[in-house]
Amino acid sequence: MILITREDFSVEETIFKLRTDEMGAIATFIGVVRGESKGRKVDHIEVHAYEEMALQQLKAIEKRAIEKFGVCELHRKTFRGVKEYL
């Protein structure tokens, strides 16, 4: 499953939908916008993606990961404030 979205989503619901009887583990990365980077104040982060290229690359990564590990991924384009989840 590859999804590039601007919308918020529930990590728990997404994980629940992805689970199968064959899975032995689910690993996630949840980023959080920090208020400082390299000594400079941060008030937000904006994540962009050239969707066509991103989807093409993510599909290639997904294919290799599924073949080798049975892996899937999710990516979100977004504008997030300090302490908000990415």
Instruction: Output the pLDDT for position 72.
Output: 62
CA distance 42 to 61: 31
CB atoms within 10 A of CB 20: 6
CA angle, 24 then 32 then 10, to 5°: 55
pTM summary value: 0.55
One-letter amino acid of 18: L
The tens digit of pLDDT for each residue in 20-74 reads 887 777 777 788 899 999 999 999 988 888 989 988 998 898 888 778 877 665 5
